[in-house]
Structure formats: structure tokens, C-alpha cells
Structure 1
């Protein structure tokens, strides 16, 4: 009986309540952020993806959840923007980025950190940038989803190796989750989307 009532409430909620969340995609260049955004939005993989310069924003609607995704460039000159878009508030922007709009403030803000799991030479830099980002006081407690992309390539790190190499076990002040994915083969894209939607709901309760 209780299960039936719960399902009924969920159904009514889906009819009348629309949920919005804001997600920031960050990570070094060529990690697959823009590719992931395209796959989430259209289900299609594009081989010749042009790296994001500055930022890219798209809205993705899944059921009654709308995800506003900020895809922020991973080149060194854009990394100072990561914190601003992860915390979803206005901040001073460098003069050469004055054309960028401020992120809208949503109830649910999540960060998704992309890593090229097949580029072992950049793993250390990825770790340093991740820890520098989440050490910012303004980002305290924001959930982080770490995605090791390109698992389809030989030698790519698996989830256990990513957790070790990125020192994720040292992060104790927030929920952090790590998946090994392939945008090209669409491996684990479904559980990635499921995690995002679930956390959009839990953070609005």
C-alpha cells in the first residue's frame, strides 16, 4: 500500500513539478567534455569534435528534469573560470572573457570533472587541477562526479585506478563519485545521466 502511494505521489509530482539543475563540465582540454554534452543531448557521437574555446551552454531535458550544462574550456587560460561556474554566482571575469554571461543560480548545482583516462601523461595535471578546484571555500560541499573518459582505448585507467591516481579517497567534505565511461561507445552514459538526475532531486528535497 505504501509503495502504491509513493508511486502515485511520484506520478503527481512529475505532472506538476518541474525540476531544474545546473551542471558545470570541467576538465583538461581533449578530455571529452563537449563530446559528452553532445551525447547526452542527442545520443550521437561525433568524431571530429572541435574543442570548446571559452564556454558552451546547452539545456538538456530528461522527463521533468531540465539540466542546464555549462561546458567550460579546459585550456589553461580558461581554468580560472571553473570555480565561477561551479558555484553558479556572479564573479569578476578577466577582461578577455568579458563577453561571457553569468551563470544563472539554480537550486541544484553539481560539478562534473572529466579526465582523459587514456592519456596517462596528463593524469597528474588532472589531479592537481581537480584538487585545486574543490579546495576553494566557495565550493565546499558541492557534489562532484568524476568521469574517466575513453575507456574504449587500450591502456585506459579503470575506476579503481582513477580513484587512486586522482587521490579521490582524500576528498572527505562532499559526495564524490567516479565512473569509467566511453562517449564513443556510450558505455556508462546511462548511469552518468541517472546519477545527475538523482542528485538534482535529492538536492531539492
Structure 2
């Protein structure tokens, strides 16, 4: 398909996205949310730099921070939101614009499990977030007492979440464990989203 033909079949906004994908690969907007100290900023850093490049220890995010990352053929725009209670009112606003909601949880923090579950449930009740896929990352899998995927699924009540795709990974931002698997899932989702958009335009 030539650019002029493609532009004639779709609006300019859709055409611009089609052209960017053709040149640079698919892209996704991610909203990173979760309780304070779960590892949201660490995950954003691992996406940008790779494991083993810790630099300074991340400070708690105040409000939100944005970053753009390119890994292989996938382009990611991340909004990393503060997990303290006073910042959670911002979550809904930024999650509404996301293609994937990424919930990061400290898998070794059993004491915070109930608060994490309740905060996640409250966030997902928003009508503006209906249908947006949920990616749950159980971070700090390298620590003693870290819960595996079955325990995280039960603790967060993920089986009770309906009307959206839900995927859970056990990861370690410190060691880079399973980060590649997460990137493969994100890439697959980005390609699926692009394919569905093409099919809608063609119908």
C-alpha cells in the first residue's frame, strides 16, 4: 500500500500512526501504577537501560514521570505514577489514555497485600478504564518470601476481574528476571492492537 493510497482510506490521525508503525514499529502507552516502593520506577529503568544498570537508587515518584523507550522494534511511552495514597487520584486520569495498565506489586511484601488488592479494585471500577488490558508484575522475585504467580493471582483477586485481558508475571527488576518475557507479551499485544485497528478501518 502506497502512502497516498493509505491516506485516502483513513483519516490523517490514523494515517500518521500507520506511517509511524511502518517506519519505527508498533507502539504502546503504558500506565505504571501500584503501591509505593513496589518497583514501578525500577521497571521503567529496566525497560530503558536493561538490568544491571541500577544507577542511583530510585526515589519515590512525586506525582508522575514520563519516559519514552525503544526496545527492539517496540516503542513504549511510560507514565510512572506515584504510589503514595495522596497521588492515587491521578491514576485514573492517566490510565484512561493508556493501552495497557501495568500494576507493579512487591511480591515479598505480604503485609501490603490487602492494601494492594483494594487499591487495584478501586482503580479498575472506573468506567473510563473499562476494557483496558491489565498487566500485573510481581516484582522482587529474588527476595526471600516472594510470592509466585498463583499466590499473586489469589492475593489480588485476579480471577474475579472480568471484561479485560489480564496477564501476570513474576519478575525481578534487580536481576532482570522475566523482563524479556514481559517485553515479548507487550510486543505481541502491540501487534494485535495494530492488526485490530487495520481490520476496523477495512470493515
TM-score bucket of the superposed structures, by smaller chain: 0.7 to 0.9
Whether contact under 8 Å (2:28, 2:75) holds in the other structure is yes
1:79-138 alpha-carbon deviations (Å, 9 max, x no partner):
0111111111xxxxxxxxxxxxxxxxxxx7111000011111111100011111111111
Asked whether 1:74 is paired with 2:83, we answer: yes
TM-score, normalised relative to structure 2: 0.81
After TM superposition, give the deviation of residue 14 of structure 1 in Å.
7.4
The CA deviation at 1:201 is 1.6
Rounded Cα–Cα distance in structure 2 between residues aligned with 1:147 and 1:47: 22
* Structure 1 residue 69: Cα displacement: 0.3
Does the Cα contact within 8 Å between 1:45 and 1:183 map onto a contact in 2?
Answer: no
Distance 1:126 1:158 in 2: 16
What is the match of residue 114 of structure 1? 104
The residue aligned with 1:169 is 159
1:155 is matched with which residue?
A: 145
SS at match of 1:31: coil
Instruction: Tell me, in whole angstroms, the C-alpha distance in 2 between the residues paired with 1:121 and 1:46.
Output: 28
How many residue pairs get aligned? The number is: 174
RMSD over aligned CA atoms reads: 1.7
- Corresponding position of 2:71: 62
**Deviation of 1:20 (Å):** 2.3
Offset, 1:47? 6.2
Match 2:169 to one of 179, 186, 196: 179
TM-score, with normalisation over the residues of structure 1? Answer: 0.80
Contact 1:14 1:64 in 2 (8 A): no
